[in-house]
Amino acid sequence: MRAQTEANLYDDINITPMLDLAYVLLVIFIIMTTATVQGIKVNLPKASATPSLHKPQTKAITISQDGTIFLDTYPVTLNELEARLQSYKAVNPDLPVIVKGDASIQYQRVIEVLDLLGRLEITQLGLVTQRVVK
C-alpha cells in the first residue's frame, strides 16, 4: 500500500512555479525592450510617397602626388574644373563635392581647389582622409 501512495504523490506535476517564472521573464523582456526603443520624441518631417527620380551625384576632385587635378577620373585644369562644376551646379544647386588630396602634395594646391569651390558657392563639401589604425 505504501508504494501505491508514493506513486500517486508524483503522478501530478505542479507547473505553477514554472508559469510564474515564465510570466516574470515575459514582463521583464517587455519592459526592457520598450525602455530601449522609446528615446526622444520628435516630430518627423513628411516625405512624398513617390520615389525620387533624381539622385544627387557626388563629384570627386582628386589631387595626385604630382599636383594633377582630376574631376572624377578625368584630368582637368583649374579653369576646366571651374567650367564643369558651374555646369553641374546649374543642374543641381546642392551639388555635393568631395576633395581627395595626396598626403605629399603642397598645401597650396588644395587651397586653390577649395578657393574655387568657395567662389562657386558649393557648400556640400567633404574632405577625404584615411583613418590611422593603431
At residue 33, the pLDDT reads: 77
pTM (2 d.p.): 0.55
The parts of the chain modelled with pLDDT lower than 70 are 1-11, 35-45, 47-56, 132-134
Closest by alpha carbon to 105, among 69, 59, 58? 69
pLDDT of the residue at 22: 93
Q: Which fold has domain 59-127?
A: Nucleotidyltransferase; domain 5 (3.30.420)
Segment 30-62, tens digit of pLDDT:
888 776 655 556 566 676 666 555 555 888 888
Laid out side by side, the sheet with 74-76 consists of: 74-76, 69-71, 59-63, 96-101, 124-127
CB 96 within 8 A of CB 120: no
How far is it, in rounded angstroms, from Cα 115 to Cα 98? 14
**Chain centroid, CA 57 distance in Å:** 17
| pLDDT at site 57 | 80
